[in-house]
Amino acid sequence: MAGLLQDKVILITGAGRGIGRAIAHLAAKEGAAILVNDFGVNVDGSQPSEGPAEEVAKEIRDAGGDAAANFGSVSDAKDAKAMIEQAVKEFGRIDGLVNNAGIDRARMIFNMSEDEWDAVLAVHLRGNFLCSRYASEQMAKQRAGTILGVTSGNGTFGTTGMTNYGSAKAAIIGMNMAMARELAPFGVRSNSYHIGAQTRMTAQGSDEERAAREAARKAAGVQRPMGSANRPGRPEDGAPLPVYLMSDEAAAISGRVFYMGTDSLGIYNDLYPARVMTKQDGWSVDDVTEFFSAGLGSGVTPFPSGPQASNPS
């Protein structure tokens, strides 16, 4: 039986370990030729190595699949361009790009260094852009292809201690919505998703930082991304979502945001202004104050509340 991705060519960044590796294996099983990219670094982005990408490519080939390895950095324009060129050279085209590569340097906003911002934004956001930039050129020529941006609950809901990561993950959604429009005339699709699993990255940070992230998640009513109550999430749990989104069965789906937890699967709402009030002759500050108490302010996050309410200010 032909697989869901039969004869497609898929590039997955950061596929040497964790979730990326799981997507690579499932996509290969569904019939795709895989370009396995991994810069081979630690979670903080240090110490590149060719080992992880080569190893996953070999695993796929040993299982009877088709795969090649790439060791470039997604945040380097030359490397990103070369990645797309390698896919075309080795396999003739590129049908899918999964912008999975990521690093993490969690820090409270008032302690975050310029380098911590730059490093995380470079890999997640600039890397997502560069690979998409060069892949979209090729896909537009082919009149076919799918680009997937990887977002996170840290981007959609916000998590304490993760302004760099959360901002990059939120920005990726905006990028993919714009790309969906720009690429639609060429038959190229773009979506964002996030899936949850326990990987070496989710184990990052001090005990306090992990506890703070967990508490924030609980307060926001967000499912724990690393697993359900019953079991921890495995890297392979969410892989069917990106594989499906790159298949021809998803040909009508573009510009949206999906998520997959250990047990759950869903779509995010679109953001639009709610509780809109109209005033044809324009607004004064007093008008806004009045309308805020009359309805605009209902349902917004009450503030100050909780521990900060006891502050002297």
Partner 1 sequence: MTGAGRGFGRAIAKALAGAGASIVAVDLPAHEADNSATVEAIKGAGGTAIAVAADTSSMDGGNQAVRAAVDAYGALDVLVCTAEVVRPGSIMDISVEDWDAALDGTLKAAFTCVREASVVMRTQRSGRILLATSGLGLSRLANNEGLVSTATAAAGIAGIVRAVSKDLARYGVAVNGVDLDAVTDAHDRGSPWTPAGETTGSVEDVTALPVFLALTEAGGQVTGETFAVSRERIGVYARYRQDIVAARPGGWNMDQVKQYFATLDAAERLSHVSVQGYSGAGVPA
Query: What b/e string do you get for 261-300 counting C-beta neighbours within 10 Å, with b at 16 or more?
Result: bbeeeeeeeeeeeeeeeeeeeeeeeeeeeebeeeebeeee
State the catalytic residue, choosing from 134, 165, 193, 259. Answer: 165
Q: Is 10 in the site for partner 1 (CB under 8 A)?
A: no
Q: Is 268 a catalytic residue?
A: no
Instruction: Pick the closer one to partner 1 by CB: 47 or 300.
Output: 300
Contact with partner 1 (CB under 8 A) among 6, 51, 284, 294: 284
Q: Is 170 in the site for partner 1 (CB under 8 A)?
A: yes
Q: Which amino acid belongs to residue 7?
A: D
**With contact defined as beta carbons under 8 Å apart, do 224 and 183 qualify?**
no
Stretch that binds partner 1, among 17-25, 50-58, 96-104, 296-304 (CB under 8 A): 296-304
| CB burial of residue 301 (10 Å; 0-12, 13-18, 19+) | exposed
Q: Is 307 in the site for partner 1 (CB under 8 A)?
A: yes
In whole angstroms, give the CA distance from residue 156 to residue 82. Answer: 32
Least spacing, CB of residue 96 vs partner 1, in Å:
15
Instruction: Pick the closer one to partner 1 by CB: 42 or 108.
Output: 108
Q: Is 294 in the site for partner 1 (CB under 8 A)?
A: no
Size of interface with partner 1, in residues (CB under 8 A): 121
**With contact defined as beta carbons under 8 Å apart, do 15 and 24 qualify?**
yes
Q: Is 77 in the site for partner 1 (CB under 8 A)?
A: yes
In whole angstroms, give the CA distance from residue 148 to residue 142. Answer: 17
User: 10 Å Cβ neighbour count for 247?
Assistant: 21
Q: Is 73 in the site for partner 1 (CB under 8 A)?
A: no
Stretch that binds partner 1, among 13-21, 56-64, 88-96, 181-189 (CB under 8 A): 181-189
Site string for partner 1, 97-136 (x = CB under 8 A): -----------xxx-xxx--xx--x---xx--xx-xx--x
Closest of 115, 102, 100, 98 to residue 45, by C-alpha: 102
